[in-house]
Amino acid sequence: MTQMDGKVALVTGAASGIGQASALALARAGAAVCVSDINGAGAEETAQSILDAGGKAISLTCDVTKSEDVSAMVAATVDAFGPLDAAVNNAGIAGSFTDRLHEADDAMLEQVLAVNLRGVWNCMKAELSQMLAAGGGSIVNIASVAGLIGAPKAAAYTASKHAVVGLTKSAAVDYAKLGLRVNAICPAYTDTAMVQSAIAGNPLMAHIMERAIPMGRLGQPAEIAEAVLWLCSDASSFVTGHALTLDGGLVAL
């Protein structure tokens, strides 16, 4: 019996990076997984890898900024596999990493908040009402160390991720007696497309990121996925409202 046998999970932004690694880890642990992303073809590839390995998955296109897409995602998951046990709200964007606040574009702020804050809000609303009806569940929101400390030259991103930690704590308290757990994960720089695109725009960036982390290296998506899996599973049954750092020691500095 593995950790998630018989459980049903969904992951947003699961076409790549941390979301993809989380979907694969949940499926390996026995969960049936709804793999969703705004990039439907990428979601399909992740789902196909799960099916090829003998797991259970469906894929769909879902833009988390659209509440109708999110409701359809939760409904499709329940239709395919039954009541939702775990949800990983991972979809997120970085915005611009180069502008200081007074130079930053207002439209960029709107876009970052739409995906990182409103997207998580939309997902939590749909997931919490489904889980309440089913009598329990575990939600994991992917925040960031930028949800706990100020990330340089990323004010919009930092504000959005502090908001995700806030949503997580507030919902954890409100639903604690109702069988629902809500936690956040706060990774430091992790080797995904998001970080690679920041490095591509500024070759010194890789060095700066590695120097910022006491372990001297980037995180790997699979390392983050292990913590996602633990928080989704009953192994973390007394944990709620927690913002778990996976950061090679960055926040301890």
Residues that bind ligand NAD (CB under 6 A): 12-13, 15-19, 37-39, 42, 62-65, 90-93, 115, 119, 142, 144, 187, 189-190, 192-195
Minimum distance of ligand NAD from residue 219's CB (angstroms): 7
Distance in angstroms (rounded) separating the CA atoms of residues 179 and 66: 27
The closest alpha carbon to 45, from 79, 84, 19, belongs to 19
Minimum distance of ligand NAD from residue 5's CB (angstroms): 26
- Catalytic residue (one of 157, 175, 189, 230): 157
Distance in angstroms (rounded) separating the CA atoms of residues 190 and 221: 6
In terms of CB distance, is 92 or 137 closer to ligand NAD?
92
Of the CA atoms within 13 Å of residue 147, those in its CB half-sphere come to: 29
In terms of CB distance, is 132 or 220 closer to ligand NAD?
220
Contacts made by residues 54-57, CB under 8 angstroms, sequence distance 24+: 55/27, 55/28, 56/27, 56/31, 56/32, 56/81, 57/23, 57/27, 57/32, 57/33
Is the separation of the CB atoms in 183 and 236 below 8 Å? Answer: yes
Is 157 a known active-site residue?
Answer: yes
Distance in angstroms (rounded) separating the CA atoms of residues 112 and 94: 7
Report angle CA 56, 62, 67 to the nearest 5 degrees: 125
Minimum distance of ligand NAD from residue 31's CB (angstroms): 19
Minimum distance of ligand NAD from residue 40's CB (angstroms): 10
Minimum distance of ligand NAD from residue 60's CB (angstroms): 11
The answer for residues whose C-beta is within 8 angstroms of residue 207's C-beta and 6 or more apart is: none
In terms of CB distance, is 8 or 148 closer to ligand NAD?
148
In terms of CB distance, is 68 or 234 closer to ligand NAD?
68
In terms of CB distance, is 4 or 11 closer to ligand NAD?
11
Report angle CA 180, 183, 189 to the nearest 5 degrees: 160
Which amino acids are annotated catalytic? 157
